[in-house]
Structure 1
Amino acid sequence: MNARRPTISDVARAAGVSPSTASVVFSGKTPVSEATREKVLAAAAELGYLGPDPRAASLRRGRSGIVGVVSGGRLGSVFGDPVMRITMDALADAVAPIGAGLLLLREGSVVAGEPTLMTAPIDAAVLIGCSALLRDHLASVRARGIPVVVIEGDGGEGVPRIALDNREAQRVAAEHVRDLGHTDVVAVTMPFRWGSEAGWLSTDDERTTSVDVVADRLAGFRDVFPDAPVYAAVDSSIDAGAAAGRALFAGSGPHPTAVVAQSDLLAVGVLRAAEEAGLHVPGDVSVTGFDGIVVDGLAPYELTTLVQPAWEKGRAAGETVAALLAGDAAASHSFTSTFRIGNTTSPVAVTS
């Protein structure tokens, strides 16, 4: 049989102080003398007491202290994407003052027993993007009394949104390419449906795109190039961008003179594939990205891209969560991207 876990009362008895005095030594909420503090800590060490049980504090508050964060795609992609890391850091920073931490959840768990948006003991949920599957779950989550905030997506009426001008910004990049004289242009998108395979998008694929960010950026591209081909990558990474680029530049036939990528990581991958194919950037092919991140080893290139306020988005989401948990009204927030011209785009080459 396992030994009973020592309690704060056991520590107080061993130290010869009241339970309330022993408690404040660990909480730090009330000053105590150094002698008392040392006596209580020595008793705790001798008994093997590791501190207050966080579950008990959660029960007293009626909260778990956990904010669930759901992002489509693989969980590993969250840590591999600089924009996601910055957003998550800012979100964690904003909820820390209310004693909350983050729990990263899959959109739809495939592992038995793994916590999901529907089962995890969370106080609030932040959805990064909003797919059809997540929208199906939202009513049930809100019925549990759990506040929800959506970053770059639409959770429906009553759900605060942290919006980015995805369509408008992507349109600016497409217009830039068009104004440089490019007509043979291809868009490289993030997955149009989480878990989808890489490949060329059909009209039906575009119509059924279920990831808000992808749909909005594609709509901005379509505002300028309504009939241009579109290639969907398997995820937003340099490797996925390179795989897409190899498909675009395969063979000796005509290739696009410009590629509008939905993320900087995809754009860097496309750029690498162009180099592999013996093409010069931007002389043979112009490439644009989206995000404005720092990519190590990219020199001498500086991407033409949209710089988005990733930290501000995450911070706004966290502050909105804190307001909702305090019972306050929470408004939606909108952010804009800044177009930055680098050296990866140039006028279309004139052939004789």
Structure 2
Amino acid sequence: MERPRKPTLDTVASAVGVSRATVSNAYNRPDQLSAALRERILETAASIGYAGPDPVARSLATRHSAAVGFMLGQHLSAAFSDPAVSIVLDGLASTVDGHDHCLVLMPGGTEGGPRPETVARAAADVVVAYSLPDHAPALDAVRVRGLPMVVIDQPVLPDTARVEVDDFGGARMAAIHLRSLGHTRFGVLTFSLHPDDRNGFVSAGRLSGSTFRVTRDRLAGYLDVVGPGVPVWECAGSSRELGRTGARALLSSTPRPTALLCASDELAFGALQAVRDLSLAVPRDVSVVGFDDVPAAEHSDPPLTTVRQPLTEKGRRAGESALRLLAGGRPEEPIRLAVSLVERHSTAPLT
């Protein structure tokens, strides 16, 4: 039995008694029609089961996809498991929403960002790069396509819109706070220095060649206050389990640190658990400071002292920049958002 043919643009045009171009304008250029005519076309289309122009065909014809590409430095699971990433993404999505644009997620991998082939075939008119290393191949793929781009956090690129926070200043705040409490023995849990998924203690050579701007700046802020020679443990991501493993290693070194500086709240939550694993207590034996101030920081055990960054605003400002570029605007000057220290009960004077 032959299946009934799906209604097309021509079917609607014939039913209404107008040209094919007029029906197309009802969907793509509504300002070209009177409100009454457009309503009649849409009502007729609905009555005969026509859902509108095929989005793939429309993008091929117009060379526009009405999509914002979001390039992650990590696997796609990070967008949902890391609360800091989720909050930034929510701020971006809520800004783009309502402007007839969809969001295309491009996960990262071993190269520190999406594969160039992924970028080459992604249906996007503008790209938002989130926390990629300095020379990620995905960045070249964006340039080859000639797409406008907004960077969140890193890398620093010339003539490119960017939204970031004062990572160096925030890290200094955290370290100064611990110094003021009398601590002199520190350990640092940091993000990846290179996109190679390494976990372990960091050598001076590896430290000096980091390709991640955020890692460099936060480490520089910590070390500017506590001095060189502090043990640093590199984590291949921002997760509680990685923080737990790294903190256990730091707290097993001699002399044992009395304070841990963590590059994210997720790493700090893992550090809190590591202290308990070793039958120690926070903050009596070890003070712990995070970075981000995600919602869980206020409710951790104990509540976490951390550096607050405006995560939602970071995503929102990036979304506004992306919409501006889509409208034909030029990249604006980089936006740097302020951070602040939130003191809670995970830090205390050295006794």
TM-score (norm 2): 0.86
- Given candidates 41, 45, 70, the residue that maps to 2:46 is 41
Partner of 2:132: 130
1:179 has 2:180 as partner: yes
- 1:343 is matched with 345
**Residue aligned with 1:302, SS:** coil
Task: List per-residue Cα deviations over 1:324-352 (Å, max 9, x = no partner).
Answer: 22222231211011111010001112xxx
For the 8 Å contact 2:67–2:123, the answer to whether it is kept is: yes
Does 2:276 align with 1:271? no
Q: Which residue in the other structure is 1:72 paired with? A: 73
Distance 1:54 1:319 in 2: 24
Question: Structure 2: how far apart are the matches of 1:77 and 1:87?
Answer: 12
**Correspondence list, 1:4-153, <5 A:** 5-13=6-14, 15-18=15-18, 19=20, 29=30, 30-31=35-36, 39-44=44-49, 49-107=50-108, 115-134=117-136, 137-139=138-140, 141-153=142-154
Task: Describe how 1:213-252 pairs up with structure 2 within 5 A.
Answer: 213-225=214-226, 226-250=228-252
- For residues 35 and 207 of structure 1, what CA distance do their matches in structure 2 show? 67
Q: Which runs of 5+ in 2 are unaligned?
A: none
The alignment partner of 1:334 has SS state of strand
C-alpha deviation, 1:79, in angstroms = 1.1
Q: Is the 8 A contact 1:73 1:194 kept in 2?
A: no
Q: C-alpha displacement at 1:186, in angstroms?
A: 0.4
Note the alpha carbon deviations across 1:283-308, whole angstroms, 9 max, x for none.
Answer: 00000000011128944421110111
CA contact (8 A) 1:91 1:314 kept: yes
CA 1:66–1:287 in structure 2 vs 1: closer, same or farther (change >3 Å)?
A: same
Once the two structures are superposed, what CA deviation does each residue of 1:148-184 show, in whole Å capped at 9, x if it has no partner? 1111123321112112100111011011111111111
For the aligned residue pairs, the C-alpha RMSD in angstroms reads 3.0
Give the secondary structure class of the aligned counterpart of 2:69.
strand
Q: How many pairs does the alignment contain?
A: 341
* Partner residue in 2 for 1:333: 335
Cα gap change, 1:3 to 1:191, in 2 (>3 Å): farther
Please give the secondary structure, in 2, of the residue aligned with 1:132. Answer: coil
Shift in Å, 1:310: 0.8
Are the structure 2 counterparts of residues 69 and 38 from structure 1 closer, same or farther at C-alpha, using a change threshold of 3 Å? Answer: closer
TM-score by length of 1: 0.86
- Aligned-residue offset at 1:107: 3.8
Query: How many angstroms apart in 2 are the aligned matches of 1:113 and 1:222?
Result: 34
Percent identity, aligned pairs only, is 34
- Distance in 2 (alpha carbons) for counterparts of 1:279 and 1:239: 18
The one-letter code of the counterpart of 1:242 is R
> Structure 2 CA distance, aligned partners of 1:294 and 1:101?
27
In 2: Cα distance, 1:130 partner to 1:232 partner? 17
Deviations 1:95-119 (A, max 9, x none): 3344222222234578x99952344
In the alignment, structure 1 segments of 5+ residues that lack a partner are none
Distance 1:161 1:37 in 2: 41
Tell me the amino acid that sits aligned with residue 157 of structure 2.
G
**TM-aligned CA deviation for residue 215 of structure 1:** 1.2
SS in 2 for 1:103: strand
SS for the counterpart of 2:195 is coil
Matched, 1:192 2:197: no
Displacement after TM superposition at 1:312 (Å): 1.0
Asked if structure 2 preserves the Cα contact closer than 8 Å seen for 1:58 and 1:64, the reply is: yes
Aligned-pair CA distance for 1:64: 1.6
Whole-Å separation in 1 of the counterparts to 2:97 and 2:82 = 22
After alignment, is 229-238 or 90-99 more displaced?
90-99
Retained in 1: the 8 A contact 2:156–2:213? Answer: no
CA contact (8 A) 2:269 2:300 kept: no
Q: Which moved more, 1:308-317 or 1:285-294?
A: 308-317
Which amino acid letter does the alignment assign opposite residue 257 of structure 1?
T
